[in-house]
């Protein structure tokens, strides 16, 4: 096993694009009009990090991981490049966009071809890394740690280097254990490990005892699994109704030993490969769009963002087109635009009466047009919060119609007045405007009914002061707001109206008229009048938004509002938190399309469902969920700067659903082992309404003296989980996959 050869496992050896990145080159880094400096960038030998030279005396270089890159954009496709460069060099520019809050890297190459080369090569290597399976990721990671531990680069490992390596991979062993392990592998008694001895050490280290136990239980054919043994395992443990032919296909696909393959047997190595690849917790049938997308729009939960323009807090944080792009690329399907009069007759977007920065309205619409349908083809709702004068409202309408063109819905679908919403399928690739309208929708079909008014009552949150905002003389709540007909006419299926009561809505509200509720009011209704709220949401849309007092852009718990059938539960996408994690989990299945069909009992006009007072009904499908938390693999260090800092992990399993189903249970912690901790702890949960339940796995670094640190987490709808022995990836607080880490569990969901 060579420690200083080129890293194998990304499978692009001798590829010209990879060679281009490994050579690297000079680029101009752009930060402002006056800050444009030459930087040398290259891909490091590990094929996972990019080296970047720095001019700072104390920081001669810096590097970042390819895993941190969200996307690479050719051209002036970032706010920085649009502001600080000329359109004449459009094709020499490109941006590296990072996940999370790290600033974009805006760069200029020396020629169009070179910019193309950087973008194509980076995309190729990033895609390649995404395609590595769990096993390859794991090997790559361990291999890299070994290379780093080989301080003198002699391709050998001394005992000292071995101890350093073990600490690097997050495992603390006492000296005598390290020496025993070392002696066991040093078969030549040379005092160092090299070649086959390193391979032996690697095998001992990565041996998964828990997998051996499962394998040995089912391997009845001279210590190997026959195709029948494998079939037994899949049918009994994994609860998958498959045939013998399927078991044979798996042997062909994953078995590494040719003799075993000939005998239609699966060795331990093949079995581990199969479990790593096919043994995912998320049901593969739910990865793509699998639900009926023809139902009326209000029959779906819709992934929705609040104050979409903000990157940080609501008092002085920056507003940015980038915030819209990030939300849309997470499949958000309803974005909010707070529009105010701007200088030179051009409307701007920002958080009114605060110090948040302003961004031109037309720039936001251009960004939305470019990125709306990259992650999902299904319709995007633009929720307008209109504070503009009549003149600038007309400019808003003009930008919407000219920039969005035929993708903007300006008329109801069909030839006659609709009585219900179209479905997401019929609205693919379309934009819907949510806002005030001067007249009834019938006016679109019947020119005589156009009411001759130019103002509408304004008691909604739209131009209303948000709770907790400062009061200004010029911002007293007005009962009437002047509305430009040009803007009014663009509102088709999402006309904003004020909510008085469910009874009033039943009598007077048309299906296309929708109310917005502040979180406090919505939570009260969801607790005290849950069934009435559910029935309201069976033929209308409801939008919920966070209280204005959340100036730090924190979030409320969306689950009780989904339980009440609310479709547009808007959260601050810019804030990584448990609530945002639950939102991403709710929209994880169905192709991450941003639309999830509500359960039947939240769509049935006669539904008696009440999540607070559970009675008998089709929603009550009582299940017992058995979860055994078995082990974790290659958990990251929390404090990378302190080599000696090793994690003490424990795992918490949480259920979020109707109040009766909410629960949380936790394993013991394991001292000093983030590499392969093993808990083998069983939990049992009773779940009354499985269709609304989310299951959250949280791995933390236990600390007796202070708050536990998050190591990684994974959240998934209960109905998208597979039974049996399952691996799951782990994500950071910001929802980014930790490449080598994983959690191994056994799941069994049984009728109570």
Render 727-744 in DSSP notation, one character per residue: EEEEE-TTS-EEEEEEEE
Residue 674: helix, strand or coil by DSSP? coil
Alpha carbon separation from 577 to 556, 592, 627, 735 (Å, rounded) = 10, 19, 24, 10
Query: Annotated binding site for substrate: which residue ranges?
Result: 29-56, 434, 436, 516, 543
626: number of Cβ within 10 Å: 15
DSSP track, 23-65? H-EEEEEESSSS-EEEEEEEE-TTSSEEEEEEEETTEEEEEEE
Q: Which of 265, 351, 399, 669 is catalytic?
A: 351
Summarize the annotated binding site as residue ranges: 29-56, 307, 336, 338, 385, 434, 436, 516, 543, 646, 648, 672, 701-703
536 is catalytic: no
Binding residues for Ca(2+): 307, 336, 338, 385, 646, 648, 672, 701-703
Sheet order of strands, 709-717 included: 663-666, 649-656, 694-701, 709-717, 724-731, 737-751, 623-633, 678-687
What element of type H or E holds 749?
strand 737-751
User: Which three-class secondary structure state does DSSP give residue 258?
Assistant: helix
Tallying the residues shown for the chain, one arrives at 752
Phi, psi of 321 (to 5 degrees): -65, -30
The candidate with the shortest Cα–Cα distance to 710, out of 682, 740, 738, is 738
Other Cβ atoms within 10 Å of 154 Cβ, number: 13
Residues 6+ apart with CB under 8 A from 377: 428, 429, 593
User: How far is 32 from 39, CA to CA, in rounded Å?
Assistant: 15
399 in active site = no
Q: Report the C-alpha gap between 635 and 731 in whole angstroms.
A: 11
Residues with Cβ within 8 Å of 736's Cβ and at least 6 positions away in sequence, in order, are 67, 68, 99, 100
Residue 313: CA count within 13 A, CB half-sphere: 8
- Could you say which of 286, 299, 306, 387 is catalytic? 306
Positions annotated as catalytic residues are 306, 351
């Amino acid at each position: 096993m060579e420690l200083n050869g080129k890293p194998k496992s990304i499978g692009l050896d001798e590829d010209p694009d990879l060679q281009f990145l490994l050579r690297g080159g000079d680029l101009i880094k752009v930060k402002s009009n006056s800050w444009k400096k030459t930087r040398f960038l290259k891909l490091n030998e590990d094929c996972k990090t990019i080296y970047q030279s720095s001019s700072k005396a104390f920081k001669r270089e810096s590097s970042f991981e390819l895993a941190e890159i969200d996307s690479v954009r050719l051209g002036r496709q970032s706010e920085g490049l649009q502001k600080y460069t000329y359109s004449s060099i459009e094709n020499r520019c490109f941006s590296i966009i990072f996940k999370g809050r790290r600033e974009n890297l805006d760069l200029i190459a020396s020629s169009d071809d070179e910019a193309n080369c950087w973008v194509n090569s980076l995309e190729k290597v990033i895609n390649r890394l995404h395609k590595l399976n769990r096993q390859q990721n794991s090997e790559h990671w361990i291999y890299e740690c070994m290379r780093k531990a080989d301080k003198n680069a002699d391709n050998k490992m001394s005992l000292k280097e071995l101890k350093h390596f073990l600490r690097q991979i997050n495992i603390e062993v006492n000296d005598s254990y390290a020496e025993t392990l070392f002696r066991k592998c040093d078969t030549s008694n040379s005092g160092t490990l090299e070649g086959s001895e390193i391979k032996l050490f690697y095998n001992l280290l990565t041996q998964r005892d828990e997998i051996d136990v499962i394998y040995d239980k089912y391997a009845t054919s001279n210590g190997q699994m026959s195709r029948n043994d494998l079939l037994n395992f899949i049918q009994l443990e994994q609860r998958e109704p498959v045939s013998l032919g399927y078991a044979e296909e798996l042997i062909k696909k994953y078995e590494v030993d040719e003799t075993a393959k000939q005998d239609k047997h699966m060795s331990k190595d093949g079995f581990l490969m199969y479990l790593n690849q096919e043994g995912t917790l998320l049901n593969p049938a739910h990865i793509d769009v699998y639900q009926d997308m023809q139902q009326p729009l209000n029959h779906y939960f819709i992934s929705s963002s609040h104050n979409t323009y903000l990157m940080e807090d609501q008092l002085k944080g920056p507003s940015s087109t980038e915030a819209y792009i990030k939300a849309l690329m997470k499949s958000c399907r309803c974005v909010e635009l707070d529009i105010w009069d701007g200088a030179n007759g051009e409307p701007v977007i920002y958080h009114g009466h605060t110090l948040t920065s302003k961004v031109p309205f037309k720039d936001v619409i251009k960004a939305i047009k470019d990125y709306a349908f990259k992650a999902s083809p299904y319709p995007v709702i633009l929720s307008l919060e209109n504070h503009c004068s009549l003149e600038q409202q007309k400019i808003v309408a003009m930008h919407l119609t000219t920039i969005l063109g035929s993708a903007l819905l300006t008329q109801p679908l069909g030839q006659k007045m609709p009585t219900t919403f179209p479905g997401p399928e019929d609205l693919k690739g379309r934009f819907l405007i949510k806002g005030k309208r001067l007249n009834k929708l019938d006016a679109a079909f019947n020119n005589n009914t156009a009411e001759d008014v130019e103002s509408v009552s304004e008691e909604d949150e739209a131009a209303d002061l948000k709770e907790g905002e400062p009061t200004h003389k010029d911002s007293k709540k007005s009962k009437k707001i002047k509305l430009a007909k040009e803007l009014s006419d663009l509102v088709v299926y999402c006309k904003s109206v004020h909510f008085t009561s469910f009874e009033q809505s039943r009598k007077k509200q048309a299906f296309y008229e929708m109310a917005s509720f502040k979180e406090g009011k919505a939570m009260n209704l969801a607790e005290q009048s849950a069934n009435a709220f559910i029935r309201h949401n069976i033929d209308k849309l409801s939008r919920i938004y966070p209280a204005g007092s959340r100036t730090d852009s924190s979030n409320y718990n969306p689950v009780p509002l989904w339980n009440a059938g609310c479709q547009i539960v808007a959260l601050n996408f810019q804030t990584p938190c448990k609530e945002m994690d639950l939102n991403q989990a709710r929209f994880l299945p169905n192709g991450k399309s941003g639309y999830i069909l509500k359960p039947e009992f939240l769509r049935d006009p006669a539904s008696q469902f009440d999540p607070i007072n559970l009675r008998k009904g089709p929603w009550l499908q009582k299940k017992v969920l058995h979860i055994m938390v078995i082990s974790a693999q290659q958990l990251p260090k929390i404090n990378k700067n302190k080599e000696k800092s090793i994690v003490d992990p424990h795992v918490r399993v949480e259920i979020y659903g109707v109040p009766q189903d909410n629960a949380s249970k936790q394993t013991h912690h394991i001292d000093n082992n983030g590499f392969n901790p093993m808990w083998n702890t069983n939990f049992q949960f009773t779940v009354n309404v499985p269709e609304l339940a989310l299951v959250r796995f949280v791995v933390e670094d236990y600390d007796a003296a202070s708050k536990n640190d998050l190591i990684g987490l994974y959240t998934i709808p209960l109905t998208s989980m597979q039974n049996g022995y399952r691996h799951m990836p782990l994500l950071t607080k910001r929802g980014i996959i930790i490449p080598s880490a994983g959690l191994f569990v056994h799941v069994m969901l049984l009728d109570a």
